[in-house]
Chain A
Amino acid sequence: MTAILRTGTGRTGFRLSFGGGPLPLYLGGAIILGWFVLALLAPVVAPYDPIYQDVAARLQPPSLAHWFGTDNFGRDILSRVIWSARIDLQIALFGVVFPFIIGTVLGSCAGYFGGWIDTILMRIIDVVLAFPFLVLMMAIIVILKPGLSSFYVAMALVGWVSYARLVRAQILVIKSSDFVVAATSLGYSHSRIMFRHLLPNAILGSVVFSMSDAVLVLLNGAAISYLGLGVQPPTAEWGIMIAEGQSFITSAWWITTFPGIAIVTLAMGFSLLADGLGEKLGVRE
């Protein structure tokens, strides 16, 4: 708590400086950047069209022509893994950003105003948290029709609670700080105090949390797609690729193995970044 208070001074807010940071920070950043570049350059880097079906080359094991082998439709696994990065990075980004914004706004309102707003919001949070995350998400996705956009909506509806709780707790701590009292006595408006004075100091913990949250969002997105409720075939996405390859585990291990490794590396990138960022900014989860 004290560490968080020390990092920002009053209204100047926080600044991220990347000089002399610890190894996890750089390693995590490099992994994510690597996947990002791969995703961006997918049309150039991927050796084949990710949905082109080469019937003559079905279920080929890894070889020089197909580094990661081919699936039961003769599609190149390497190309599909690379193209999937576009979807999965997008899942990690949007799946974090929407809950982050909603949770931060609601959480800071609850913490700042207190009273009945706080009570109602906390009760809603209790109820949402009572449900296993994935179970509630699945129920919402089914109402909206399976698909990627439904996943984002469900993510936003369920995921905001963690951010709201984090920000609320922070606001409660710094609400009585001298600089906030000073701002109040100067007659600043609620929104000015909230967004210019409180939030810049309260949000640090959420920023670090959002990195580790990206891991969970990525895994959830892949799991939802694996169950057939997220990204729909023939779009290449790691979760779907794993689901499609499961029927062939006795004969073609490569279909499921490589997309999984892709998920693990990207998730590890986010974990490392969260660790490094937390250490650097002095935020403990």
Chain B
Amino acid sequence: MNRYRFVLYRPLQLLPVLVGISIITFVLIRSIPGDPVRVLLGPRSTPSAIERIREQFGLNEPLWVQYLYFVKNLFHGEMGRSILYKVDVLKLIVSRIEPTLVLVGGSVLLALAITIPLATIAARRRGSLADHVIRLVSTAGLGLPAFWLGIMLIIVFSVQLDLFPVSGYGRTFLDKLHHMVLPCLTAALALSAVLTRNLRASLLAELNSDQATAARARGLPENQVFWRHVMPNSLVPTINLLAINIGWLISGTVVLESVFAIPGMGQLLVRGIFTRDYMVVQGVAMCFALATVMVNFLADILTVTADPRVKL
């Protein structure tokens, strides 16, 4: 298959996945026991009020009709109304999307900033003390619970040193950045443990590759061989790994938003779960799934365009 056709056809292959996502979210959320209308009305729940609300939200229709309504509404950009917040779920999500994006983006950048130097040292001085320490720390880092690491960082940097806020998001741009340093650092540290091991391995393989040998034979200084030939090639699988792990990163942000009380989508999801707010849980879960699929799609394209050896 031609590379350009791959880019065009790949989205079509994603269609069944998207349908699957919509079915799973729909079925999952509708099978939750407990009546959301009773939760909504609380002590005011008289039979006639319950009936009126059920009618209003279309909860009396058969399940498959509800699903068709649900898909039809999706095409109109409507994900239903939050039973608790009484606003459109899409609006709710849009208002919560910024902190989550900053958290995910910030941790990826920070993770790369930590990973690249560490993996470089470990790979170029293979077998040295530094290499062993980096490998040991990254192995230990694999088992770091992000939520615990976050609390430890809060204790050290917020409570003891008073450098960063304990929790929340802030109002102005700088204030927001200030609030997001610790959450991003937490996720980045956990992420870089995974990435460093991977990047070190591919750097080692690439250092012994024919093209590196050829570059050395041309008389290029080792530094130039490393940064111009070895590193760019080794980064492709690492960035791919990053993309594959996006779901894991999103899972991490859901927990971290609870740890740091960040008003993002993850917090919305957790709250939606505890208050049985069907539409919100459904909307957020679907958005997260869509984001995962999109990022993986972009990674596929990156791999195909960056590495001519990849067979389609």
- A: which residues have CB within 8 A of B? 123-124, 126-136, 138-140, 142-143, 145, 212, 215, 218-219, 222-223, 226-229, 239, 242, 245-246, 249-250, 253, 256-257, 259-260, 263-264, 266-268, 270-272, 275
Check if A135 sits within 8 Å of B270, measured CB to CB. Answer: no
Chain B hits for A268, CB < 8 A: 139-140, 142-143
Check if A130 sits within 8 Å of B292, measured CB to CB. Answer: yes
| Nearest 3 pairs of A and B residues by beta carbon | A267-B143, A127-B20, A134-B251
The smallest beta-carbon distance between A206 and chain B, in angstroms, is 18
Check if A131 sits within 8 Å of B16, measured CB to CB. Answer: no
Check if B250 sits within 8 Å of A135, measured CB to CB. Answer: yes
| One of B20, B151, B246 near A242 (C-beta < 8 A) | B151
Residue of B nearest to A226 (CB): B147
Check if A260 sits within 8 Å of B251, measured CB to CB. Answer: no
User: Is the CB of B223 closer than 8 A to any CB of chain A?
Assistant: no
User: Is the CB of B68 closer than 8 A to any CB of chain A?
Assistant: no
Check if A143 sits within 8 Å of B254, measured CB to CB. Answer: no
Chain A hits for B29, CB < 8 A: 139
Check if B142 sits within 8 Å of A134, measured CB to CB. Answer: no
Check if A131 sits within 8 Å of B292, measured CB to CB. Answer: yes
Q: How far is the CA of A272 from the CA of B149 in the complex (A)?
A: 20
Chain B hits for A253, CB < 8 A: 155, 159
Chain A hits for B17, CB < 8 A: 123, 126-127, 130
Check if A132 sits within 8 Å of B31, measured CB to CB. Answer: no
Q: With A124-B20, A135-B285 known to touch, is A271 a contact of B251 (CB < 8 Å)?
A: no
User: Is the CB of B293 closer than 8 A to any CB of chain A?
Assistant: yes
The smallest beta-carbon distance between A264 and chain B, in angstroms, is 5
- B: which residues have CB within 8 A of A? 16-17, 20-21, 24-25, 28-29, 31-33, 139-140, 142-149, 151-152, 154-155, 159, 246-248, 250-252, 254-255, 258-259, 269-270, 273-274, 276, 281, 284-285, 288-289, 292-293
- For the complex, would chain A's binding face be called helix, strand, loop or mixed by DSSP majority? helix
- For the complex, would chain B's binding face be called helix, strand, loop or mixed by DSSP majority? helix
The smallest beta-carbon distance between B194 and chain A, in angstroms, is 11
Check if B288 sits within 8 Å of A260, measured CB to CB. Answer: no
Check if A143 sits within 8 Å of B31, measured CB to CB. Answer: yes
Check if B254 sits within 8 Å of A134, measured CB to CB. Answer: yes
Q: How far is the CA of A259 from the CA of B148 in the complex (A)?
A: 9
Check if B143 sits within 8 Å of A215, measured CB to CB. Answer: yes
Check if A130 sits within 8 Å of B21, measured CB to CB. Answer: yes
Chain A hits for B274, CB < 8 A: 228
Q: With A131-B247, A142-B32 known to touch, is A136 a contact of B285 (CB < 8 Å)?
A: yes
Check if B151 sits within 8 Å of A140, measured CB to CB. Answer: no
Chain B hits for A212, CB < 8 A: 142
Q: With A132-B247, A249-B154, A263-B148 known to touch, is A138 a contact of B273 (CB < 8 Å)?
A: yes
A-B pairs with beta carbons under 8 Å apart, 5 shown: A135-B289, A219-B143, A219-B145, A242-B147, A268-B140
Q: How far is the CA of A222 from the CA of B24 in the complex (A)?
A: 25
Q: How far is the CA of A222 from the CA of B33 in the complex (A)?
A: 25
Chain B hits for A260, CB < 8 A: 145, 148-149, 151-152
Q: With A132-B251, A227-B258 known to touch, is A271 a contact of B142 (CB < 8 Å)?
A: yes
Q: With A124-B20, A143-B33 known to touch, is A132 a contact of B254 (CB < 8 Å)?
A: yes
Residue of B nearest to A141 (CB): B273
Q: How far is the CA of A227 from the CA of B273 in the complex (A)?
A: 11
Q: How far is the CA of A130 from the CA of B22 in the complex (A)?
A: 11
Q: With A127-B24, A138-B273 known to touch, is A132 a contact of B142 (CB < 8 Å)?
A: no
